[in-house]
Amino acid sequence: MDTQIIERIKKDLLERRDQITAELFKFSKSGQIKGEFVSDFPSFGDQADENAQEVDQYTTDIETERVLESTLKDINSSLNAIKKGTYGICKYCHQEIEEKRLLIRPFSSSCVKCKNKLQSA
Ligand SMILES: [Zn+2]
């Protein structure tokens, strides 16, 4: 793959990593980055319906946090792959991942063909 494109993707990945790290910080007031983020339970009040709202909010936070953490993991492994010179190789078929796909979703670890196969399976 073109080194210029790799550089562009690397910059994109670093920016995304910063954004996601900042997002994750919002969930955790203790602000520890150890891979495990503990959501603070939001408090809206003690009324019954307010408690229901708290639980709702908490569930959404956990879900968002889970997605953010997994994306962060993908971004980090992509950055590692760039360092090792193995970036852009599909982890299933070991062929090069389409450049177009990587520009849209730079932390992809599989090609479109394998991804489709997995989703339809
Ligand atoms: Zn593949």
pLDDT for 26 equals: 82
On the question of pLDDT at 88 being above 80, the answer is yes
Contact 69, 24 (CB under 8 A): yes
Distance (Å) from CA 83 to ligand 1 centroid: 21
Contact 114, 90 (CB under 8 A): yes
Distance (Å) from CA 19 to ligand 1 centroid: 28
Distance (Å) from CA 112 to ligand 1 centroid: 7
Distance (Å) from CA 115 to ligand 1 centroid: 7
Cα separation of 27 and 3, whole Å? 36
What separation in angstroms does the CA of 78 have from each of 12, 89, 106?
A: 11, 10, 8
Q: What is the three-class DSSP state of 96?
A: strand
DSSP assignment, residue 80?
Answer: H
* Local confidence band at 49 (pLDDT 50, 70, 90 cut-offs): confident
